[in-house]
């Protein structure tokens, strides 16, 4: 295969169409290389985001042959099997700004609402934490904010409940803080209400597309659901709290 056809979405918030580009290939070429080839040689106005080209920054997210992926990590040879054209579209869940660039500001607005780590007053300085106690939150901290999990999540993608559900990325952020050995905040109310953990019905699509291989659902969201269930929906806990008056003492 010495060349490949890319069908790239061109357009803006008013809509757009796919445009075909013929691009010569080389060994190890990734889709982002092909997009750069188009910008340099065929159409300098083609808009896309990218930064590190090493799958570390999470900027070049797109939907390639219908699957959310990082363009810098996706080989042309894998996508163009049997001379098939490669179809490149912007993330479907977010409004298009231009071509492959979408408005992802919703993610940043929600992220801002999550209070950062608040250390317990008795936390030692420097902190003393065993590796085995931080292994699980280090997994969540690998997130590069590519928002592939957000775009693939059908709750956001098909049902568009952005006002009620923060999506997998922010749940992972909450899981990280909630499981930090020294975090002093009770985040359960936020996890349940604002972040809407209940909306997730564990289809694990987010885990499948995560380029950092974070077990978003199993290790992050399900434990959060359990935390919330213990607090709000466990009848025995509920009874104990009623009898002891503990639910009046808000942490």
Partner 1 sequence: MTENYDLFEHDVLVIGAGGAGLRAVISASQAGLNVGLVCKSLLGKAHTVMAEGGVAGALGNLDKKDCWEVHFKDTMKGGQFINNWRIVEIFAKEAPERVLELEQWGAVFDRTPDGLILQRPFGGHTYRRLSHVGDRTGLEIIRTLQDKAVSCGIKTYMEVTFTRLLKDGDRVVGAIGYYRPSGKFIAIKAKAVVLATGGWGRMFKVTSNSWESTGDGVMMAYEAGAELLDMEMVQFHPTGMVWPPGVRGLLVTEGVRGDGGILRNSKGERFMFKPEYMPEMYRGQYAETEEEAHRWLEDKDNNRRPPELLPRDVVARSIYKEVLAGRGSEHGGVYLDITHRGADFIRRKLPSMYDQFYALGGVDITKQPMEVYPTIHYTMGGIRTEPESCATTVPGLYAAGEVAAGLHGANRLGGNSLSDILVFGRRAGDGAAEFAKAASHGSLDERQIEEEMSLMLAPFTCEGKENPYRLTQELQEAMQEGAMIARNEEGLSKCLQTILSLQERAKNLHVDGAREYNPGWHTARDIRYMLKTSEVIVRCALERKESRGAQWRTDYPDRDPEWGKKNLIAGKEGDQVKVSTRPMSEMPPELAKLFEEGK
Q: Checking DSSP bridges between strand 61-64 and strand 67-70, what pairing results, if any?
A: antiparallel
Query: Contact with partner 1 (CB under 8 A): which of 58, 68, 168, 196?
Result: 58
Q: How far is CA 39 from the centre of its chain?
A: 27
Query: Contact with partner 1 (CB under 8 A): which of 6, 8, 30, 174?
Result: 30
Subset of 105-134 contacting partner 1 (CB under 8 A): 105, 108, 111-112, 115-117, 119, 125-131, 134
Query: Contact with partner 1 (CB under 8 A): which of 20, 27, 122, 163?
Result: 27
CA torsion, ordered 99, 70, 170, 201, to nearest 10 deg? 100
Scanning 26-34, 158-166, 192-200, 220-228 for contacts with partner 1 by CB under 8 A, the matching segment is 26-34
Q: Are 77 and 25 in contact (CB under 8 A)?
A: yes
Q: Is 69 in the site for partner 1 (CB under 8 A)?
A: no
Query: Contact with partner 1 (CB under 8 A): which of 1, 3, 12, 244?
Result: 12
Helical packing angle, 168-178 and 105-113, nearest 10°: 20
Beta pairing partners, 88? 8, 64
Q: Is 18 in the site for partner 1 (CB under 8 A)?
A: no
Q: Which is nearer to partner 1, 26 or 243 (CB)?
A: 26
Task: Note the helical H segments in 114-183.
Answer: 131-140, 148-152, 154-157, 168-178
Q: Are 101 and 47 in contact (CB under 8 A)?
A: yes
Query: Contact with partner 1 (CB under 8 A): which of 26, 121, 249, 250?
Result: 26
Q: Are 201 and 222 in contact (CB under 8 A)?
A: no
Which residues would be at the binding site for partner 1 (CB under 8 A)? Answer: 12, 26-30, 33, 39-41, 44-59, 73, 97-99, 101, 103-105, 108, 111-112, 115-117, 119, 125-131, 134, 137-138, 141-145, 177, 180
């Amino acid at each position: 295969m010495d060349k490949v056809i890319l069908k790239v979405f061109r357009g803006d918030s008013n809509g757009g169409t796919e445009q075909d580009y013929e691009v010569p290939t080389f060994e190890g070429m990734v889709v982002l290389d092909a997009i750069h080839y188009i910008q340099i040689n065929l159409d300098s106005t083609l808009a896309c985001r990218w930064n590190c080209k090493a799958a570390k920054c999470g900027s070049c997210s797109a939907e390639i042959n219908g699957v959310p992926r990082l363009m810098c990590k996706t080989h042309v040879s894998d996508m163009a099997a049997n001379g098939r054209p490669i179809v490149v579209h912007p993330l479907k869940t977010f409004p298009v700004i231009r071509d492959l660039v979408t408005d992802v500001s919703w993610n940043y607005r929600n992220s801002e609402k999550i209070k950062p780590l608040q250390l317990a007053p008795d936390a030692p300085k420097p902190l003393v934490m065993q590796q085995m106690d931080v292994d699980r939150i280090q997994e969540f901290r690998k997130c590069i904010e590519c928002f592939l999990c957000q775009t693939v999540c059908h709750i956001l993608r098909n049902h568009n409940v952005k006002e009620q559900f923060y999506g997998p990325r922010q749940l992972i952020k909450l899981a990280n803080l909630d499981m930090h050995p020294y975090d002093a905040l009770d985040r359960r109310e936020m996890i349940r209400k604002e972040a809407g953990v209940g909306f997730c019905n564990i289809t694990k699509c987010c885990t499948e597309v995560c380029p950092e291989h974070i077990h978003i659902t199993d290790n992050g969201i399900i434990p959060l659901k359990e935390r919330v269930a213990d607090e709000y929906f466990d009848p025995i806990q509920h009874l104990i709290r009623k009898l002891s008056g503990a639910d009046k003492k808000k942490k």
